[in-house]
Amino acid sequence: MTAIAEAIRAAATFGATSNGGVTRFAWSEPLFGVYAWLRERAAEAGFESRLDAAGNLIVIWDAGQGPVLAIGSHLDTVPNGGRYDGALGVLSGLEAMKHLKRRGFQPNRPVWLIAFMDEEGARFKTTMLGSRAFVGEDLQGLSSRRDGDGVTLAEAMRDAGFPFDRLPEARAIERVGEYLELHIEQGPVLEQAGVDVGIVTGISGLRGTRASFKGIAAHSGTTPMHMRRDALAGAARAVLEIRDVAASRDGTLATVGTMNASPGAFNVVPCAAEFNVDIRSIDPGALESSEADLHRLLQRIADEEQLTVSWDRIYELEPLPLDERLIATCELAATEEGASHQRLPSGAGHDAMIIGRHVPAAMLFLPSQAGISHNPVEHTSDEDCERGTRVLARAVERLSSQPMGWPLRAGVAGFTRTRRSRARWPGWLRPVRAAPAAR
Ligand SMILES: [Zn+2]
């Protein structure tokens, strides 16, 4: 068994569930157990480590000078989750560092491996708490969030030895120059394409809409079909049209995941139907235009069905394009390791979404068997894990052997952009081209 495969099996014993899954909540014993195990493993390889005020575990390769190259992911899980989500990114990071060190490689800049606390937010609905503290977000409002047992976040942190008030001390983003994260895809694209490594172009933004059709409740036995104002029939048409419109566009996903009809009786024509529409894309322009099209579509169906319609935006998050120079570095690393690769967007959120709003960031995806994740059967083959670790090591080697922002190879588009040129566009507003791989 390779070192990475063995590490994944060992880590999965912390918080193991009876059906082969893993439950490691934030601030829990199993999480600190796997931390202790990882710190020992890192120490054996000659790396120091520390815990910051937000419970982020940082393994340090103290070398050279300048901005830190950070590799990160998370070790917490959803309830009865899989053994690869998050853990693979952290474990492959350590294996990559060990591999480079064994070969006698010496970075020109410090390299940090960070296991961020509470990425999943499964216990307190405090998603990405660790990375948000790391970049200095104000998290004071979260202290009284309660878990299922009524324990507050502040209490859980105190019991684990982390005073909530000291959370701001975790801010260390100023030390970091670049960020890399390896993660399982959690979707079926790479496996179906038979591709070894995904190079993530950006992390999707989202728009959430709550829509409501109103008609007239009527007797199902006495109201002729052509005289009905059936709100649910209108909503059903909307669901199908939303699906078809999204399917006709590259890189846009739209989902109706909830629906409520009133009054909800088998013999009454529904007078109201309320549903949520979730739209995702890595292209800010596509999000805008899809939302406008949604409003037009809802109004047209309402008119045709003689209904009234209303809608509200209930959530929004801007997409995050990842850094083109780091993306190109990852592609080069994959090529050098003989791994087939393609670009693709990430539909799920990751710590890179937080860190990448402050410093250039890139992500590598590895294939998920059948696209399944957040499930005990979540699986990525040993071979894929080993290959991905080698690609990560190669990218770390390339980036940390040079000062920040150096062109990797002259004349290749995207390689020469510096942090200065990036500053003109806030990262999440920068226009992006849809990746060919997403088509
Ligand atoms: Zn994850």
CA–centroid distance, residue 58 to ligand 1 (Å): 17
Residue type, 28: S
Both tokens assigned to 416:
């020469």
What kind and span of H or E run contains 147? none
185: left (phi over 0), alpha (psi -120 to 50) or beta: alpha
> 421 CA to middle of ligand 1, Å?
30
d(CA 234, CA 365): 40
Ligand 1 mean position, distance from CA 87 (Å): 8
Specify the long-range contacts of residues 295-303, CB closer than 8 Å, at least 24 apart: 297/238, 297/241, 297/242, 297/245, 298/211, 298/213, 298/238, 301/213, 301/234, 301/237, 301/238, 301/241, 302/213, 302/234
In this prediction, residue 411 has a pLDDT band, given cuts at 50, 70 and 90, of very low
Q: In angstroms, what is the span from residue 356 Cα to ligand 1's centroid?
A: 15
pLDDT (tens digit per residue) in 231-245: 999 999 999 999 999
Tell me phi and psi for residue 344, to 5 degrees. Answer: -160, 155
Rounded to the nearest whole angstrom, what is the distance from the C-alpha of residue 119 to the centroid of ligand 1? 7
Query: Six-digit token pair at 175?
Result: 């030390």
Q: What is the mean pLDDT of residues 412-417?
A: 36
Ligand 1 centroid distance, CA of 262 (Å): 38
pLDDT of residue 422: 37
Output b/e per residue, 129-155; b: 16+ Cβ within 10 A: bbbbbbbebebeebeebebeeeebbbb
Residues 386/244, Cβ–Cβ less than 8 Å: no
What's the pLDDT at 426? 33
pLDDT of residue 405: 63
- CA 414 to ligand 1 centroid distance, Å: 28
Q: Does 436 score more than 50 pLDDT?
A: no
pTM: predicted TM-score of the whole model, two decimal places: 0.85
Give the per-residue pLDDT at 69.
Answer: 98
Please give the distance, rounded to the nearest whole angstrom, from the Cα atom of residue 429 to the centre of ligand 1: 24
Q: How far does the centroid of ligand 1 lie from the alpha carbon of residue 394, in Å?
A: 22
Confidence of residue 406 (pLDDT cuts 50, 70, 90): low
Q: How far is the CA of 300 from the centre of ligand 1 (A)?
A: 40
Task: Read off the pLDDT of residues 200-225 as tens digits, 9 standing for 90 and up.
Answer: 999 999 999 999 999 999 999 999 99
**Residue 186 Cα to ligand 1 middle (Å):** 9
Would you say 334 and 391 are in contact if contact means Cβ atoms under 8 Å apart?
yes
Break the chain down into helix, strand, coil percent, rounded to 5.
35, 25, 40
C-alpha of 93 from chain center: 17
CA of 89 to the centre of ligand 1 (A): 8
Average pLDDT over residues 55-75: 97
Q: Report helix, strand or coil for 208.
A: strand
> Distance from the CA of 337 to the center of ligand 1, in angstroms?
24
In this structure, the number of other CB atoms found within 10 A of the CB of residue 84 comes to 26
| One-letter amino acid for residue 170 of the chain | A
